[in-house]
Amino acid sequence: MPYASIFRSDLFRDQVALITGGGSGIGRCIAHELASLGAKVVLASRDPAKLERVVAEIKEDGGQASAIPCNIRVEAEVTALYDAVIGAHGRVDLLVNNSGGQFVSPAESISLRGWNAVLETNLTGTFLMCRGAHQHGMSEKGGAIVNIVADMWRGMPMMSHSGAARAGVVNLTQTLALEWAGCGIRVNAVAPGLIASSGLSNYPEPVQEALAELPKELPFGRMGTESEVSAAVVYLLSPGARYITGETVRVDGASSLYRHAFVLPPGAVAPAYRGLHRPTTAPKGLLGDEE
């Protein structure tokens, strides 16, 4: 069966869409939807085998796709990626920065190497890809960029490196939207919440066990789907969003308004400061003591 997109089938006919991290999960889903809507999809990541599998899937479904291995953390590889895309297609119309990665760890245990690896992938890599799009034609012809971030609005306990990087991408999105508005380049972001995606299988077993218990605590009683994230991305890339730039759309079923992804360990109650010399009528127990 073809991709069941809610958008018309020729929406991106003959447009060139470059997607990083398109070999699995949300990126794979976005690639399939854009291809089903007529785009010529180019997938980029560090894993050629995964990319080729998705390319084969898209071609089997009647779409157009190709793959170019690239480590977005390496400036020379990003430049080579754009040179290859321009050489094959002549332009890049759409860019989806989906590549990312992190690992679970308390902040005090993250090594500098681990910290740098996550920031270079999620923040620096996104910058290099955005800058490359500007330098390889979008500055003259315009285009649309969507950066995939994460639910980090209330902090990301056990993932401080990723939270810092994703927050940086949100600000980068806003800044580029302003700087490049005159070029006709729109830059937006999508922040998925807890999504039932293959990426969850990369976490250690204790984390997966905790994730399995989370849906019942979410406002919708379930995680989101890759397709729900993809639909938001496609809308922001579409002509219908031509007056939207610098925005971050949360696809999280209101979970960012409701809870944290990880339960913090219990700790000692911090003593309260009481400057008022007279008794208050506030209910007891709210300050962690029995007053």
Range of the domain at 222: 16-256
Measured CA to CA, the distance from residue 239 to residue 229 in angstroms comes to: 18
Per-residue pLDDT, 205: 77
Does the residue 128 lie in any domain? yes
Does the residue 90 lie in any domain? yes
Residue range 120-141: mean pLDDT, rounded: 98
Band of the pLDDT at 8, cuts 50, 70, 90? very high
Does the residue 284 lie in any domain? no
Band of the pLDDT at 195, cuts 50, 70, 90? confident
Does the residue 279 lie in any domain? no
- At 284, list the tokens: 């007891």
- At 208, list the tokens: 């997966």
Does the residue 109 lie in any domain? yes
**CATH no. for residue 120?**
3.40.50.720
Per-residue pLDDT, 288: 56
Does the residue 268 lie in any domain? no
Domain count, the chain: 1
Does the residue 249 lie in any domain? yes
Range 242-248, long-range pairs (CB < 8 A, 24+ positions): 242/186, 244/186, 244/188, 245/177, 245/181, 245/186, 245/187, 245/188, 246/173, 246/174, 246/177, 246/178, 246/187, 246/188, 247/188, 247/189, 248/149, 248/170, 248/173, 248/188, 248/189, 248/190, 248/191
Flag whether pLDDT at 139 surpasses 80.
Answer: yes
Tens of pLDDT, residue by residue over 237-279, are 999 999 999 999 999 989 888 865 555 566 665 675 666 565 6
Flag whether pLDDT at 1 surpasses 80.
Answer: no
Flag whether pLDDT at 226 surpasses 60.
Answer: yes
Beta strands in 58-210 (DSSP E): 64-69, 94-97, 143-148, 185-192
- CA dihedral for 193, 197, 198, 201, sign (positive or negative): positive
Does the residue 179 lie in any domain? yes
